[in-house]
Amino acid sequence: MKLDIATTALLSQMAAGEAPPMHELSPEEARLIGGQMAKGYPGGPAMVSVKDVEIPARDGAKIRARVLKPSESPRGLLVFYHGGGWVLANIDEYDTLGRQLAERTGCAVLMVDYRKAPEHPFPAAPNDAWDALLWANDNMAALAGRKVPLLVAGDSAGGNLAAVVCQKAKAEGGPAITLQILVYPVTDGAMETPGYANPDNQLLLNTPLMTWFWDHYAPNKDDRLKPEASPLRADDLSGLPPAVIVTAQYDILREEGEAYAARLRDSGVPVTYKQFDRQMHNFFAMPGLLPAQAKAVEYVGEQVDRHLAKFSQADAVVVGAGFAGMYQLHRLRQMGLKTRVIEAGDGVGGTWYWNRYPGARCDIESMAYSFGFSPELEQDWTWSEKYATQPEILRYAEHVAERFDLRKDITFETRVTRAIYDEEEMRWTVYTDKGEAISAQYVIMATGCLSVPKQPDIPGTDEFKGPAYVTGKWPHEGVDFTGQRVAVIGTGSSAIQSIPHIAEQAKELTVYQRTPAYSLPAGNRPLTNAEISEMKQHYRDYREAQRHHPGGIPNPPRAMESAHNVSAEERRKRYEAAWETGILTGLSSAFNDTMTDQQANDWVSDFIREKIHERVKDPEVAEALTPRSFPFGTKRPCLDTDYFETFNRDNVELVDVRKTPIERITAKGIETKDGEKEFDSIVFATGFDAMTGAIMNVDIRGVGGMALRDKWADGPHTYLGIGIAGFPNLFTITGPSSPSVLSNMLVSIEQHVDWVSDCIAWMRKGDLAAIEPTEEAEDEWAEHNEATANLTLFPQANSWYIGANVPGKPRTFMAYVGGVDTYRTLCDQIAASDYAGFRTYEADREAKAMSA
Ligand code: NA7
């Protein structure tokens, strides 16, 4: 006996009734039988209120529906679509189940009597389902008493409709559904799974009846395979709400539920799946008759409990717990905002958490690359070297987290996947990959400028059988290259820092270079006590100087003189002096026109080229390592410790891929036009999807469901790199078109966080619910940005500043070159003039009541 006793008994009673098979009946006859059956169900729990309503459909018709309220203050609003093959059943027959669900979940349940086929064939049912969902969302305050999480559920054909509306809500950018509960859903109209041929499954629902349903519902066979009828056939299931999927063991639809669960999981959607053993199709909709039905309602209730416990309210969600996210949390908490930080790593530190490659080090002096907001912090932390190593910076980040008790509001090992703005509520719903949905007034993207490693763009990357490492995602336990043949691809900062270390360990190191870099010797060394105490005495003045310096790096001061004003000898003298400082900005600060005048830049570029030739013994290798295709400083220059000297070692070889292009990566190594070279390990130091990558990784939908990915399809468009028109209350810390990577990041981070925090404080004082830039302000900023960049030599280089490193990425200059000082003045003046260029929205009464 495959089914449980109650089901076996029920089937035997039904057989004794000798009713003809359903699929031989007309829809009217079949409906009568279904109605008779439902009369045998118990009445279901009492509700605080039961109200029948009529929902306007798009074609002017009315959709019958019933609101079941289990309490005065339901925890959620669950829109339920009943089963019956889109032909049979109605909300009266499902009344008991609806009440059970309302009672168990604590949610108000909206039972939708969508129109049935064949009178109303496809797409009437999904259209009604969608119209009802929109109506539910619009009327949430009336239905549930306040803004609550929105859930959808359905069984069988209703499970199909629930899945379909979730896909539509994703495509439309809302409403924000927080959970989908699909009970043995129909997900594919092809009817080809093995279950359809299995005699074990030919129970209440059998293959002829399923054919009968589809024939009535979607007589046109092409319609059946559209995602609106077969949600399994949608191209992309990523970003859908977390799902609870229930199936029955002996059900021709079991495999459709399994397949949908598998595809959702593969697309990164959290899925809780449960098969009820010894059960048949429809068991969930037969209350009172089958004990498993009560168990399934209990199971669904547990899932909703779990889900709603995670559904949270916050004033602000900050994405990322690097330096930006940490300081933003600190500021908002000080202001009394309930703030949640969501962080993908299992610790704080952002860039300094992920980039653990050998030799990783900051190239801004440690005392300058640290927080200035707390004089106490600055006094109790002591840096050990001129340039801090990654482990030391990470310890500093951990110290900051400890000192300000930040960890308690950070959720680690969790990624934000979507953020959807609700115009009426003027709030965001932020989804995480752990199935949490957080409602928040503000979303602050503190996701870093260089946090998403560039996708490999070399054919065959997956073929390599040995270990492959990406500098930006280095294993925490470290890598020992001793005795290995190692390849490093790339010669940017990460490669330049790691190559000398790898060369010391490896048996052979081959460096694949596409563009040589300008790199200056760091002259790193331990800090002396005298230097430390001198800085600690004058930190306050130093911070002030940082804030008003174009790059946030006041030492050495920027010369006011043109390189043209002095003799060749004097120029040389100043370049040599700058070179000796070992400071990244030393050479560019030696004259005031290095970045704007071609000749001035040529002089300094030639000086560095000469130095490279002095550092590398083999003139051919030296020439290959010498940058000639772009002006100094227009791609991020590097600081190194023995980088060029490393090429004097016998175990190091340079491959210039412009002359000898990499054709592909093979199972054993790297193939160029000169043949295949075998390696034990490959290191990808190939950079990042800079500035926009991490923001665009989150599916952000603003006003009218507009996707940020669409808005930025031709490149990022922002106001000040802080706000985006159409995306109210969304702020980006060091976002595209702010000075960001052209400055000391810590200085820019603090300036942005302070500005955003002050803006939020101003809004709260003025009782404003939302703020967003105007399109005009965005255009004006873009125009100024571009014009400023065009006054410099920056646009000449194919750099990641303009997205040139990522194939297919639109090219726009993504950092403000006008300087942190000018930028700060602009931001301050905008704030002082009541946030000129922004539009604001007043809080409505309902929103106020909620936060109270
Ligand atoms: P970068 O500076 O973007 O460097 C990446 C390097 O990888 C650069 O030399 C690239 O050459 C090279 N690259 C990228 N793709 C390829 C392919 N397909 N083939 C060969 N070479 C390739 O990233 P980093 O991580 O080094 O530094 C990022 C920043 O972090 C740094 O500027 C500091 O601010 C800190 P390209 O120049 O594109 O020709």
Return the sign of the alpha-carbon dihedral for residues 282, 286, 287, 288: negative
Distance 491 CA to ligand 1 centre (A): 6
Q: What CA–CA distances, in Å, run from 362 to 100, 260, 366, 644? A: 60, 47, 7, 19
List Cα–Cα distances, 375 to 121, 152, 288, 535, 540, in angstroms.
Answer: 70, 51, 69, 12, 7
> Helix or strand or coil: residue 739?
coil
In angstroms, the CA 419 to CA 429 distance is 6
CA distance 328 to 326: 5
Ligand 1 atom showing the smallest separation from residue 684 Cα = 7
Contact 342, 432 (CB under 8 A): yes
Query: What DSSP assignment string belongs to 640-678?
Result: ESSHHHHTTSTTEEEEETTTS-EEEE-SSEEEETTEEEE
Domain boundary pick from 669, 687, 705: 687
Contacts of 521 (CB under 8 A, 6+ apart): 579, 582, 639, 640, 641
Residue nearest to atom 29 of ligand 1 (CA): 493
Round to whole Å and give the CA distance between 648 and 617.
6
> Do 40 and 10 share a structural domain?
yes
Q: Which of 385, 294, 334, 349 minimizes the C-alpha distance to 104?
A: 294
Token reading at 37:
């059956």
- Signed CA dihedral, 431, 437, 443, 446: sign only: negative
Q: Is residue 359 part of a domain?
A: no
Which residue bears the tokens 């950079």?
687
364 falls within a domain: no
**Centre of ligand 1 from the C-alpha of residue 97, in Å:** 59
In a domain, 73, yes or no: yes
Residue of 665, 805, 811, 814 with the most ligand 1 atoms within 8 Å of its CB, for mutation: 805
Separation of 445 CA from ligand 1 center, angstroms?
A: 24
Domain finish residue from 283, 309, 335: 309
Question: Residue 564 falls within a domain, yes or no?
Answer: no
Exposed (0-12), middle (13-18) or buried (19+): which is 147, by Cβ within 10 Å? buried
Q: Which tokens is 348 given?
A: 């704080």
**CB of 821 within 8 A of CB of 749?**
no
Residue of minimum CA distance from atom 30 in ligand 1? 493
Q: At what angle do helices 291-310 and 95-105 cross, to 10 degrees?
A: 40
How far apart, in whole angstroms, are the C-alpha atoms of residue 38 and residue 96? 9
Q: What is the pLDDT of residue 435?
A: 64
Which residues, including other chains, have CB under 8 Å from residue 52's CB and lie 6 or more apart? 64, 65, 66, 67
DSSP track, 6-47: HHHHHHHHHHHTTPPPGGGS-HHHHHHHHHHHHTTS------
Q: Do 209 and 271 fall within a single domain?
A: yes
Determine the Cα–Cα distance for residues 30 and 413; give it in Å rounded to an integer. 52
Q: Are strands 243-250 and 177-183 parallel, antiparallel or unpaired?
A: parallel
How close is the Cα of 688 to the center of ligand 1, in Å?
A: 7
CA dihedral 389, 392, 393, 395 (to 10 degrees): 160
Q: Which residues contact 659 (CB under 8 A, 6 or more apart)?
A: none
Tokens of 350: 């952002």
Residue minimizing CA distance to atom 14 of ligand 1: 686
- Listed in sequence order, the residues at least 6 apart from 468 whose beta carbon sits closer than 8 Å to its beta carbon are 461, 681, 682, 683, 684
Is 307:179 a contact under the CB 8 Å cutoff? Answer: yes
Q: 575-600: b or e for each residue (b if 16 or more CB lie within 10 Å)?
A: beebbebbbbbbbbbbbbbbbebeeb
Tokens representing 800 are 């990641």
Whether 31 contacts 88, CB under 8 Å: yes
- Give the whole-angstrom CA distance, residue 666 versus residue 669: 5
Residue 353 is assigned to a structural domain of this protein: no
740 occurs within a structural domain: yes
Tell me how far the alpha carbon of residue 638 lies from the centroid of ligand 1, in angstroms: 11
Tokens of 393: 């910076």
List ligand 1's pocket residues with C-beta within 6 A: 450, 457-458, 471, 489-495, 512, 514-515, 636, 657, 662, 685-688, 800, 805
Residue partners of 727: CB distance under 8 A and separation at least 6: 421, 700, 702, 703, 706, 708, 772
770 and 814 belong to one structural domain: yes
Residue nearest atom 3 of ligand 1, based on CA coordinates: 687
163 and 185 housed in the same domain: yes
Question: How far apart, in whole angstroms, are the C-alpha atoms of residue 802 and residue 786?
Answer: 11
Cα separation, 500 vs 507, in Å, equals 13
Of 357, 363, 494, 496, best ligand 1 pocket probe by most atoms within 8 Å of the beta carbon: 494
Residue 201 sits in the same domain as residue 250: yes
- Same domain flag for 671 and 706: no
Distance 635 CA to ligand 1 centre (A): 10
- State the pairing for strand pair 427-432/437-445: antiparallel
pLDDT for 1 equals 85
Question: Does residue 735 share a domain with residue 669?
Answer: no
Same-domain check for residues 162 and 196: yes
Co-location of 131 and 261 in the same domain: yes
The string of DSSP codes covering 767-788 is TEEEEEE-HHHHHHHHHHHHHH
What is residue 841's three-state secondary structure? strand
Q: How many domains does the chain have?
A: 3
Q: Which atom of ligand 1 lies closest to the CA of 800?
A: 3
Q: Which domain holds residue 153?
A: 5-309
Here the CATH number for the domain that contains residue 511 is 3.50.50.60
Closest CA to ligand 1's atom 20 = 514
Q: Are residues 666 and 771 in the same domain?
A: no
Look at residue 636 and give its three-state secondary structure.
Answer: coil
What is the reported pLDDT for 437?
A: 79
Please state, in angstroms and rounded to a whole number, the distance separating the CA atoms of residues 92 and 115: 14
User: Counting atoms of ligand 1 from 1, which one is nearest the CA of 495?
Assistant: 26
Residue ending a domain, among 622, 655, 687, is 687
Q: How far is the CA of 652 from the centre of ligand 1 (A)?
A: 19
Q: How far apart are CA 83 and CA 217, in angstroms?
A: 13
Closest Cα partner for 331 from 279, 371, 297, 295?
A: 371
The answer to whether 76 touches 241, Cβ cutoff 8 Å, is no
Structure tokens given for 359: 């030799």
> Which residues fall within 8 angstroms of residue 169, CB to CB, at 6 or more apart?
133, 175, 176, 177, 241
pTM: 0.75
**Within this chain, do residues 831 and 705 fall inside the same structural domain, yes or no?**
yes
**Residue nearest atom 10 in ligand 1 by C-alpha distance:** 490
Counting every residue written for the chain, the total comes to 852
- Mutate which of 449, 452, 493, 688 for ligand 1 pocket (most atoms within 8 A of beta carbon): 493
Centre of ligand 1 from the C-alpha of residue 474, in Å: 16
Determine contact, residues 671/664, Cβ cutoff 8 Å.
Answer: yes
Mean pLDDT in runs of 10 for the chain (852 residues)? 93 87 95 92 95 97 97 91 98 98 95 98 98 97 90 98 98 94 98 94 94 98 97 97 97 98 96 97 95 96 82 91 98 97 98 98 97 97 98 98 98 93 88 81 97 93 96 97 98 98 98 98 97 97 96 92 98 97 95 97 98 98 98 97 98 97 98 97 97 96 94 97 98 97 97 98 96 98 96 95 92 94 98 98 57 30
CA terminus-to-terminus distance, the chain: 58
Minimum CA distance residue for ligand 1 atom 27: 493
Residue type, 35: G
- Based on its alpha-carbon atoms, the radius of gyration of the chain, rounded to whole angstroms, reads 32
Give the span between the Cα atoms of 311 and 491, in whole angstroms: 45
Ligand 1: atom nearest CA of 636 is 32
Q: State both tokens at 230.
A: 């077969």
Question: Does residue 189 form part of some domain?
Answer: yes
- 145 in a domain, yes or no? yes
Cβ neighbour number for residue 765 with a 10 Å cutoff? 8
Taking the centre of ligand 1 as the mean of its atom positions, its distance from the CA of residue 585, in whole angstroms, is 20
Cα–Cα distance, 121 to 105 (Å, whole number): 32
Question: Looking at the structure, do residues 121 and 169 belong to the same domain, yes or no?
Answer: yes
Distance (Å, whole) CA 634 – CA 798 = 9
Name the closest-CA residue to atom 4, ligand 1: 492
Q: Are 110 and 136 in contact (CB under 8 A)?
A: yes
**Measured between alpha carbons, how far is 852 from 850 in angstroms, rounded to an integer?**
5
- Report the atom number in ligand 1 closest to the C-alpha of 687: 23
Which of these, 323, 404, 405, lies nearest to 369 by C-alpha position? 323
304: domain CATH number is 3.40.50.1820
289's enclosing H/E stretch is none
Q: Is 461 helix (H, G, I), strand (E, B) or coil?
A: coil
- What is the per-residue pLDDT across 325-360, written as a single tens digit (0 to 9) for each? 999 999 999 999 999 999 999 999 999 999 999 999
